[in-house]
Amino acid sequence: MGNLIVRRVTQMLLIMLTVSLLLFAIFDSDQFREKAAVAELGGFGVATLSADDYHEWLEKKGLNEPFLARYGRWLESVLHGDMGQSIEKDIAVSVLLKESLTNTGILAFFVFWIMIPVSLTLGVLAGMNTGSPLDRVISIVAVLTTSIPQIATAVLLTVILALGLGWVPTKSAMADGWSFRGLVLPLLTLLLYDIGYLVRMTRAAMTEVMASQYIRTAVLKGLPYRRVILRHALRNALIVPVTLIFLELNGLLSQVVVVEVFFQYAGFGRMLFDAANFGDLQVLQAATLVAVCVAVGSQLLSDAAYVFLNPRVRFT
């Protein structure tokens, strides 16, 4: 097992390195350099620059050195926590990142806190008795919630809960200070889809396990039904859903982009969107790097969990 983990970690490090190289290369291209110049000097200023002056400006910014040297310097500064300056908001990127990640983190915390027990329970209940009325209801609801895209869920929830019933504010910009009620709509939007997805996966795993031969052995051994489910079935059925839960972190980073923008919540997704729109390159670069880091980390955790939970892989 240790061997596998080591191999996986090395692979992940290699991927991180490749991604950082790619990102640096993308944002280092001439096109973006010009964008940076425009951002700093103003469009008119760039247009009136002569070729020499332009080169002088480049050199002043240290943009004329060989590629790998610049990459090295950039990598070093990133690892020290300095990721540049946000042009739009005029604060250090790292500060901006910290703020937005904290906000998204709060959202994510509540999502996981509610999603995990609810989906696993519903999924297991549905899979235990495939074809029963309870299973049909759960399955239909799950299919519905995973079919409605989060943009549409956001719309429908806003209309019903905010505009119609008035229980919650329509936007979550939290301009008057932090309120939990402002969190409700984005939370529900995320939860509906994620719970639906995890319920379907758990149900599928549970159904497969319940049809297996070792469950037949357990039942025909005369064990009480409770023990068959809790000790024999769950132990095998939950392996895949648990690994999926770790991967949810990755998915969440994508989902928050649209949810936070719709509800104007000042989180990571909104920051990324604003940076992309404005052309705030350093923020974009840093945010992408962080996102990939989190994603790769979640994949690693997921693989580790799989190896740990599955005796067939853990003990050769």
Partner 1 sequence: MNSRVVILLALIWFPLTAYVMFRSALGALANYLLLPAIPSVIVLYVLALRSWRESWVAIVGVSLVSFWLLMAVAAPYLPLVDPNKPLVPFLAPGGVRHGILFLLGSDMRGRDVLSRTVWGCQRVLVWGITATSVAYAVGAGCGLIAGYLGGWWDEFVSFASNVLLSFPVMVLFILVLNLLGQSGFNIIIAVTCSSAPVIMRIVRGLALDAKSRDYIQAAQTRGEHPLWIMLVELLPNVRGPIIVDASLRLGYTTVAITTLTFLGLGLQPPDPDWGLMIKEAATAALLWKYSYMMIVPALSVSSLILGFNLIADGLREMSLRD
Partner 2 sequence: MSAQTNAAARATPILECRNLSIAYAGRTGDVPAVIDFNLALMPGEAHGLVGESGCGKSTIALAIMQYLGRAGRVVGGRILFRGRDLLAMKGEELRSIRGGAIAMVYQEPMASLNPSMTIGAQLIEVPMYHESMERRAAAARAQMMLDRVRMADGERIMRSYPHQISGGQQQRVVIAMALLSNPALLLLDEPTTALDVTVEAGIVDLIRNISTEFGTSMLYISHNLGLVRETCDRVTVMYSGEAVEVGSVASVFRGMRHPYTRGLFASMPVPSADKNSRPLVSIPGQPPPPRARPPGCFFGPRCASFVAGRCDARPVPLSSIDASQGHASRCLRVDEIAWDAAPAPGPGNITATVGDIVLKVQDLSKRFRHVTANDGLTFDARRGETVAIVGESGCGKSTFARILMGLIQANSGSIDLAGLELSKLPVTRRNAKTIRSLQMIFQNPFDTLNPSHTVGSQIARVIRKLGVLRDESRVRERVLDLLDLVKLPRDFAERRPRQLSGGQKQRVGVARAFAGNPSVVVADEPLSALDMSVQAAVTELLIDIQRREGTTLLFISHDLSVVRYLSDRIVVMYLGQIMEQGRTHEVFTPPYHPYTEALLSAVPIADQRYAKRKVLLTGEIPSAANPPAGCPFSTRCPYRIVGTCDRRPPPVQEFSASHRIACHLPREELLAMQPVFEEVTQ
Chain residues binding partner 2 by CB under 8 A are 131, 212-214, 216-224, 227, 231-232, 235-236, 310-312, 315-316
- Please report how close the Cβ of residue 2 comes to partner 2 at its closest, in angstroms: 18
101 near partner 1, judged by CB under 8 A: no
- By the 8 A CB rule, do 215 and 184 touch? no
Q: Which tokens hold the place of 19?
A: 């991604």
Could you tell me which of 100, 114, 127 has the C-alpha nearest to residue 257?
100
Compute the least distance from the CB of residue 266 to partner 2, in Å: 44
Residue nearer to partner 1 on the CB measure, 97 or 287: 287
Our finding on whether 253 is near partner 1 (CB under 8 A) is yes
Secondary structure (DSSP) of 17-86: HHHHHHHHHHHTSHHHHHHHHHHHH-HHHHHH--HHHHHHHHHHTT-SS-HHHHHHHHHHHHHTT---B-
- Per CB under 8 A, the list member of 6, 68, 137, 156 interacting with partner 1 is 156
Tokens of 256: 């928050």
Q: Applying CB under 8 A, does 18 fall inside the site for partner 1?
A: yes
User: Which lies closer to partner 1 via its Cβ, residue 145 or residue 232?
Assistant: 145
Q: 232, 244 in Cβ contact below 8 A?
A: no
Q: Which stretch binds partner 1 (CB under 8 A): 45-53, 143-151, 173-181, 222-230?
A: 143-151
Instruction: Pick the closer one to partner 1 by CB: 218 or 252.
Output: 252
Report the distance separating Cα 4 and Cα 102, nearest Å.
33
User: Of 62 and 311, which has the nearer Cβ to partner 2?
Assistant: 311
Q: Give me the least distance between CB of 230 and partner 2, in Å please.
A: 12
Binding at 227: pick from partner 1, partner 2, none (beta carbon under 5-8 Å per type): partner 2
Of residues 117 and 224, the one with the C-beta less far from partner 2: 224
CA separation, residue 68 to residues 20, 78, 183 (Å): 12, 15, 44
Helix segments in the chain, DSSP class H: 2-27, 30-41, 43-48, 51-60, 67-79, 93-128, 133-147, 150-157, 180-210, 213-220, 225-227, 234-237, 239-263, 268-278, 281-309, 311-314
Residue 172 binds which of partner 1, partner 2, none (CB < 5-8 A, kind-dependent): none
| Phi (first) and psi of residue 169, to 5 degrees | -70, 155
Interface residue with partner 1 among 86, 158, 189, 202 (CB under 8 A) is 158
Q: Is 152 in the site for partner 1 (CB under 8 A)?
A: yes
Nearer to partner 1, 170 or 223 (CB): 170
Return the structure tokens found at 92.
């250090």
Return all residues near 59 (Cβ < 8 A) that are at least 6 apart: none
Site for partner 1 (CB under 8 A): which residue of 6, 69, 137, 151?
Answer: 151
Non-local (6+) Cβ contacts of 273 within 8 A are 257, 260, 261
Pick from 58, 296, 304, 313: which binds partner 1 (CB under 8 A)?
A: 296
Spatial separation of the C-alpha atoms in residues 177 and 239, rounded to whole Å: 41
Residue with Cβ nearer partner 1 (188 or 257): 257
Of 155 and 219, which has the nearer Cβ to partner 1?
A: 155
Give the CA radius of gyration of the chain.
25
Q: Which does 250 bind (CB under 5 to 8 A by kind): partner 1, partner 2, none?
A: partner 1
Residues that bind partner 1 (CB under 8 A): 11, 14-16, 18-19, 22, 26, 143-144, 146-152, 155-156, 158-159, 163-164, 170, 250-251, 253-255, 257-258, 261-262, 269, 272-273, 276-277, 284, 287-288, 291-292, 294-296, 299
